[in-house]
Structure 1
Amino acid sequence: MTITLGAILRPQLPPERLRSAVRTADEAGLDELWLWEDCFLQGGLTAASAALAWTDRLRIGVGLLPVPLRNVALTAMETAALHRMFPGRLSLAVGHGVQDWMAQVGARPDSPLTLLSEYTNALRALLNGERVTTSGTYVTLDDVALDWPPQTPAEILVGGIGPRTLALAGRIADGTVLNESATPGRVREIRAAAPAPHRIVVYVFAATGEGAGARLARELDRLGLTGVGVAGDAETVAAEVRRYADAGADTVVLLPTPDDPDPEGFLRFTAEQVRPLVK
């Protein structure tokens, strides 16, 4: 079993605490630190660029950028710059975003799937250094090319839940990001249907320390989820990580509850206690 273990730094943490958390993750030896672009908290690529600059080794994931919010040329420009400045250290996922949030800013599309397909294909072409002209339902580019595309192929992941989005991810993306609702059984189904190679990243709720079980139960109840998440010590959490790895996940990213009392401590717990048990 080969598994990459990461942890999520929730955007509810104030931006001024990002540096200390990133440094903690780097010093503890975490494989990957994942950031979110949730409305209306922190910009995903802004936070990622700072995190990459503050570390020399840590891989940063952004999961995900909601495509209705961003012109694809701008996303390509920013992503290409990060890949050139910090080669091999950025994982980027794109997706629909929360449709209620998209409606709040006047960006909710009539067909999120059409937008995601057009956007992902255009983003890949731009990052590949191609000159792109396209006129789709949502994405229009007229003779657009990046002056500074990535020097090596840039991984593009697609995040999704529904079957049509997951099927799209399998066709046009390098990998799929699954949120915390995915069970090991669901991961196994997606792995069986995915092409090879295709990276599968899955978020898994985890809680440790005093009151861990109650914190996890409250969050699962709030979200209406059952049969997912783990609460307990490092061995208990590691066993859950191994279940997802055995089901076909390439990367397991541990997700703390929103009320975790020590976000930096959660990162250290993941890297220093859980990681040795799953490597």
Structure 2
Amino acid sequence: MTALGVVFRPQLPPERLRAMVRAADDAGLAELWLWEDCFLESGIASAAAALAWSERLHVGVGLLPVPLRNAALATMEAATLHRLFPGRVTLGVGHGVQDWMGQVGARAESPLTLLREHLGAMRALLAGERVTTEGRYVRLDGVALDWPPASAPAVYAGARGPRSVRLTGEAADGTILDASTTPEGVREARRLIDEGRRVAGRTDTAHPVVVYLHAATGPDAQARLRAELARDGREGTPGLGVAGGADDVAKGVRRLAEAGADTVVLQPTADEPDPEGFIRFVTDEVGPLVP
């Protein structure tokens, strides 16, 4: 079964989040996802508010840039959310956009090493372990959480390049792929993830894959989608994004699911005229068409 989500785009002001959460909760949306893009909105603060404002909504953050975050602090925040809202949170970490990391003086010489070290520390701390490590970037001396979650939660990682995607299979509990990923790209990512899992001896556990999908509906859907892809420099990429009615969007979701996506998160255009209406469209019209 494919889970459906929608992104709350941080191009919307933070004060719009509550209405989006209420719309998602009322409509029965499975998952609402948030971003921590520089220099828009905090992923953790937004997630905490969204969880508190809703009754059943699952909230994902995809993703938190690790160069911005000390591993111990990120894990404390994650543990707090998991204890306050057990079973309703998915947190993903990743390299972050390197130009943005440079702007704040946090650009790592080896983003891959940093992500590997951060994932190792975060997963161990969330599992209740006491951690001492002297890595290139992550250094902890006898650190343990006083309030770890009751059971170790999954930590996802976002990735795009092949080495990073392979690392998510080796060191993370799930993978987040951005909206530049075609169905063929999902298949290739699954292959790389499985390579990493074999290297780490982790083939006995499931490894969920979350994929974002550009989506637009309404009378100007095609034009808005083309403009969005053009802004990303990806206009004309075959198999990327979907515009139209519920049937069209559901077909795009099914193509990604057949390629290996466990969760498809529909990403409206930054200029979506009715974000709450988009949520209702996804739940009421697209959802029944997706197995």
TM band (smaller chain): over 0.9
Supply the distance in 1 between the matched residues of 2:189 and 2:111 (Cα, whole angstroms).
21
C-alpha distance in structure 2 between counterparts of 1:189 and 1:41, whole Å: 31
Aligned to 1:9: 8
Cα deviation digits, residues 195-216 of structure 1 (max 9, x gap): 4511110000000002000000
SS at 1:109's partner residue? coil
- Report what 2:260 is aligned to: 248
After superposing the two structures, state which structure 1 stretch, 218-227 or 8-17, moved more: 218-227
Q: Percent identity?
A: 63
Q: Please provide the CA RMSD for this pair.
A: 0.9
Partner of 1:205: 214
Written as runs of structure 1 = structure 2, the 5 A alignment for 1:69-148 is 69-148=68-147
Q: CA offsets, 1:70-92, max 9 Å, x none?
A: 11111110100110110000011
Count the aligned residue pairs: 278
- How far residue 242 of structure 1 moved from its aligned partner, in angstroms, is 0.6
Mark the runs of 5 or more structure 2 residues left unpaired by the alignment.
198-202
1:164-175 aligned at under 5 Å gives the runs: 164-175=163-174
Residue identity in the other structure for 2:150: Q
Q: Deviation of residue 191 (structure 1)?
A: 2.0
Task: Choose which of 279, 282, 285 in structure 2 pairs with 1:267.
Answer: 279
Q: Which residue does the alignment assign to 2:35?
A: 36
Work out which of the residue numbers 229, 235, 243 in structure 2 matches 1:231.
243
What is the rounded CA distance, in whole Å, between the counterparts of 1:203 and 1:256 in structure 2? 10
Query: Using the alignment, how far apart are the partners of 1:157 and 1:106 within structure 2?
Result: 25
Per-residue deviation at 1:35? 0.2
TM-score by length of 2: 0.94
The answer (yes or no) to whether the contact 2:128–2:152 under 8 Å persists in 1 is no
Considering Cα pairs closer than 8 Å and 6+ residues apart, tell me whether 1 or 2 has the greater RCO: 1
5+ long unaligned stretches in structure 1: none
Segments of 4+ moved more than 4 angstroms = none
Post-superposition CA distance 1:88-135 (Å, at most 9, x none): 000110000011111111100111011000001000011000000011
Deviations 1:139-163 (A, max 9, x none): 0001100000011221111101000
Please tell me the residue identity of whatever aligns with 2:211.
Answer: V
- Does residue 156 (structure 1) correspond to residue 148 (structure 2)? The answer is no
Instruction: Verify the 8 A CA contact 2:174 2:209 in the aligned structure 1.
Output: yes
What is the deviation of 1:48?
A: 0.1
Q: Classify the secondary structure of the residue corresponding to 2:4.
A: strand
